[in-house]
Amino acid sequence: MAGKLIVFEGVEGSGKTTQLEKSYLWLQANGSDRKIVKTREPGDTELGLGLRQLLLQVKNTQPIYPTAELLLYAADRAQHVQEVLLPSLATDTIILCDRYTDSTIAYQGYGRGLPRSMIDGLNFFATNGLESHLTIWLDVAVEVSLIRTRLRGKCDRIEQADLGFHQRVQEGYNQLAQAFPHRIKRVDASLDEQAVQEQIRAILQQHLSQ
Ligand code: T5A
């Protein structure tokens, strides 16, 4: 497999989408002759878009149970891996992906309290064992990041969860970064957008030159 799977992770409003876009433009402008694609979970495939709407809409009259939520994210991922990630990796493409398997560990594992062994098994099943080559973790306190999302306006179903949930998710990322230091690189995402981007460029440069 010749391509690279580079994932952006972090709590709500940590700046993943903003930084992924800046990184995409920077890589395109800075001489990489490899194809670069942007993608996201959930919702980059036709099936995934429908699942994303079901997962994030606030108008559900009944709660979505944590196990059902976990399986819907896994279904999105299984489709995404087969339809988008594996074909792109086979053609030497650099993939910039907004969220991947660590989101499930952080949100459904630490956030919802589902067993880690079940999540790891499901992640493996959905991805056929495909791991990110590099994960950039945008680390910012949830008290700061949630203000950013609320300033933006309407909040989705998961953004509306209580502060304790988001703090457990943040702790999940913290634990993951400590457990997988070679794969997960932390950036200080409390700084302004340009300062965050500078840190990410340094990480990308080092990783892609290896
Ligand atoms: N989920 C996902 C699971 O529970 N399990 C899973 O397995 C997966 C894959 C996805 C939801 O699904 C959950 C997690 C999520 O809740 P989403 O809309 O994709 O939903 O949610 P997010 O990924 O959280 O997207 P957000 O847009 O909310 O956050 P981002 O992308 O981190 O932040 P961004 O870049 O959009 O920025 C948010 C705001 O902050 C400003 C931006 O201008 C914007 O207004 N901003 C900054 N402000 C100050 N300083 C900075 N450095 C800033 N950077 C950005």
pLDDT tens by residue, 61-103: 788 999 999 999 999 999 999 999 999 999 989 999 999 999 9
- Order the strands of the 94-98 sheet from edge to edge: 36-40, 94-98, 4-9, 134-139, 184-188
In whole angstroms, what is the distance from residue 148 CA to residue 191 CA? 13
* CATH number 3.30.470.20 given to 4-209: no
Residue nearest to atom 23 of ligand 1 (CA): 12
- pLDDT 10s digits, 186-203: 999 999 999 999 999 999
Counting atoms of ligand 1 from 1, which one is nearest the CA of 99?
9
Of the ranges 17-31, 48-62, 113-127, which is most confident?
Answer: 113-127
Ligand 1 pocket at CB < 6 A? 10, 12-18, 41-42, 56, 73, 98-99, 103-104, 107-108, 148-149, 152, 158, 192-193, 196
